[in-house]
Every structure is written in C-alpha cells, then in structure tokens.
Structure 1
Amino acid sequence: MLTISNTVELADWEIDLSQIRAQGAGGQNVNKVASAVHLRFDILHSSLPPFYKERLMAYADQRISKEGIVVIKAQSHRTLELNKEDALARLKELIQNAVKQQKPRRPTKPTKGSQRRRVDKKTRKGQTKALRGKVKI
C-alpha cells in the first residue's frame, strides 16, 4: 500500500515492481545491476481519482508515456529493498508534483502605482535623512 495523500492510496497490485538483471553485467557494478528495479504503473487503470489521472496525463515528464504508463528505474543502491523504496518514493513524488496547484505567476513589471509609491517613499526618507542634525530651533 502506497499512501499518496490523506485520501489517496494505491494498492500493491497496481504497482508492478520487477527485478532487472542486465545481460553480461560485469566489473564493479555487478551488485548494483543485480538489485536494479523497474517500476511500472498504469495511470488509466489505477484507482486514482479522475482529477489525479487528468493531471498526470497532462504532466510533462519523460517517465510518463502517451499510453499512460509510468516507468521508473532505480539502481542507485546496492540492495534490492532500498531500490524498491527509492522507486516507490519517486512515484509518490511524481504524482504529488503533477497534482499540486501551480501558483499564479507574478507580473514581471511593477505597476505604475507601485512605482510611484516607491519613489515617493524613497524621496520622503531621503528628505528626512538630509534634515537630520541640520534643523535648529
């Protein structure tokens, strides 16, 4: 069971984790290759809410195919268990990034009003600083 958020969970049968051993692996990376994991997740046939499915299908990521299959490869750790955890964590992160709302962009240029207020504030500060110590009663 993979928990995405408080309300969304994925069952184990929805995530296909397979151990991959490359042909003719030799040298220093034998242990890494022997513990490599490929995670396959079908977006369209999953139990995700429709909103999540739409967001994931529209999300621009090279790990998501046009057919809605997510493939994540993990082989950075030497043990199979750590690679499985890593692949599941990356799937969870991918889903969360695709679903979260984008913040509205800030306008690139300040408005005329804000520019005017800024200049007025700066000139007032400059005038008061210039008068410090010079005004005698």
Structure 2
Amino acid sequence: MGTGLIEISAQLAIPETEIVERFVRASGAGGQNVNKVSTAVELRFDVAGSPSLPEPLRQRLLARRDRRMTGEGVLVIDAQRFRTQDRNRQDARERLVAFIQTSLSVPKARVATKPTYGSKLRRLDQKKERAQVKRGRSTRNWE
C-alpha cells in the first residue's frame, strides 16, 4: 500500500491508509492462471469510521441500501474482472470512487403538491369504467 491519496472530487480525497486490500484467488474460468495466482482484489473501506469523510456524506453513504455494505458500515468491493492483480486493484479503486461520487450531491427535497382538478376527474372516470367492466362480469338470471 502506498501513502498517496485517492481523488474523489476536487474537494475530497481519501488517504490510501484508510483502505485495506486483500489479494485472493479469483473464481470462474481461467484455468491454471486462476488456480495459481492471487489476482482478485478485495478492497475494504470503513465508511462509518473514516475521518476523511464529511459527516453529511457519511450519513448518505450509510443510508444507501447496498449489498456491498456490511452491518458495521464497511464497504467491501470484490474486483476480479481482469487477469492481472494491478488492473483489478485499479478497478476496485475506480468502483470505490464511483460509489462515493454518487452520494456527493445532496438529493433535492420533494415538495408535496396537490393533484390537479383534471387528474382527479380522470381518476374518477377510470374508476367508473373499471366498475362498469366488473359489473358486467357478474352472473345474471337469464330466465
């Protein structure tokens, strides 16, 4: 591991000391190479305990429903798309950056609005039509 920074945006960077990389053997096709060489990368980043993340960003990241996030707030990224360890490391870091960048912008709060008069009428008309169809299905006395 180096001592550099992982650039997220112009204002935010994460020190490499905050990520933990583990090299494991990849699964799937690849023959002897896959069986012998630890090319897959498991990158772990503690979102909950990271001092370099601003608090609002941390809350947005932890609130996301993502299967890569553990219960303790640790993001785990498995990268094994490529044949080389170096390329998989790059891929894992790029995916970490992309994950954090998606939560950088604050979502706009939804302003509740009332349904328009026209939309109310259309809804009621649809309800009446549907009721008519269902009424037509009922059994009748044909005698």
Residue by residue, what CA displacement relative to the aligned partner does 1:78-114 show, whole Å, maximum 9, x if unpaired? 011110000001011111113323356699xx8458x
**1:107-122 matches, cutoff 5 A:** 111=116
Q: How many residues are matched?
A: 112
Match of 1:31 in 2: 33
Q: Distance in 2 between matches of 1:11 and 1:57?
A: 20
The corresponding residue for 1:14 is 18
Segments of 5+ residues of structure 1 without an aligned counterpart are 114-137
CA apart distance, 1:58: 0.5
Residue 66 of structure 2, aligned match among 43, 61, 65:
61
Quote the offset at 1:52 in angstroms.
Answer: 1.4
Partner of 2:141: none
Q: Do residues 51 (structure 1) and 56 (structure 2) align?
A: yes
Q: TM-score, normalised by structure 1?
A: 0.68
Query: Aligned to 1:99, what secondary structure does the other structure show?
Result: coil
Flag structure 2 segments of 5+ consecutive residues without an equivalent: 119-143
- SS of 1:63's equivalent in the other structure is coil
Structure with the bigger RCO (C-alpha within 8 Å, sep 6+) is 1
CA–CA separation in structure 1 for the residues paired with 2:14 and 2:24: 23
User: Residue 122 of structure 2 corresponds to which residue in structure 1?
Assistant: none
Deviations 1:60-82 (A, max 9, x none): 11101121100000001001111
Separation in structure 2 between the aligned mates of residue 40 and residue 73 of structure 1, nearest angstrom: 9
SS in 1 for 2:77: strand
Cα RMSD (Å) of the superposition?
2.9
User: Residues 16 and 29 from structure 1, CA distance in 2 versus in 1: closer, same or farther, beyond 3 angstroms?
Assistant: farther
Rounded Cα–Cα distance in structure 1 between residues aligned with 2:28 and 2:53: 40
- Identical columns (%): 40
Q: Counterparts of 2:68 and 2:28 in 1: how far apart (Å)?
A: 27
What SS does the aligned partner of 1:95 have?
A: helix
